[in-house]
Copies of this chain bind each other. A is one copy, B any other.
Amino acid sequence: MVDDLVPDGAGNHTAPSADCPVETALAAIAGKWTTLLLRELSRAELTFGGLKDTLPELSDKVLADRLATLVDRGVVDRVVHRGYPNRVAYSLIDAGRELRPLLIELYRTGTRLQSLRGGGGDAVSSQRP
């Protein structure tokens, strides 16, 4: 079936599959802290320590994991600057910038969901006998 949700037949799966475009996109931003990191890196190139300063509650280990994953995914570039001490700079690359409209749409959708809950409509009651 091909409709506007699945415009080209690449999304017609009956089980989760890495081939599905939707899963590809979700995989690119998956993981706790990842969208926060993408937000910071879309503002500016940052070093490991710079990221720690910006997100103080994020542990070294998870930060390192997240960054390595983003580099693996081809979303972030990692450049070592030799010196005393060494520094390592992280920045978004092309594929990472492809994520920007998605993050904007996530923000927009989340905002609308929140106003649907808080604002007008009362919670829809689903009958559970």
**Interface, chain A (partner B; CB < 8 A):** 1, 3-8, 10-11, 13-16, 20-26, 28-29, 32-33, 35-36, 39, 42-43, 54-58, 71, 74, 77-80, 93-95, 98-114, 116-117, 121, 123-124, 126-129
Contact = CB atoms under 8 A, between A and B. Distances in A.
A33 B77 CA distance: 31
B109 A56 contact: no
B101 A105 contact: yes
A58 B102 contact: no
Contact of A107 (B1, B22, B57, B103): B22
**How many copies are assembled?**
2
A79 B127 contact: yes
A110 B74 contact: no
B93 A124 contact: yes
A25 to B, nearest CB: 4
A93 B21 CA distance: 25
Contact of A57 (B14, B35, B74, B128): B14
A36 B24 contact: no
B77 A7 contact: no
A20 to B, nearest CB: 7
B77 A95 contact: no
Given A22-B103, A23-B110, 19 more contacts: A3-B43, A5-B42, A10-B111, A14-B55, A14-B56, A14-B57, A16-B32, A21-B113, A24-B113, A24-B114, A25-B106, A25-B110, A25-B113, A26-B110, A78-B128, A79-B127, A94-B121, A101-B105, A102-B105
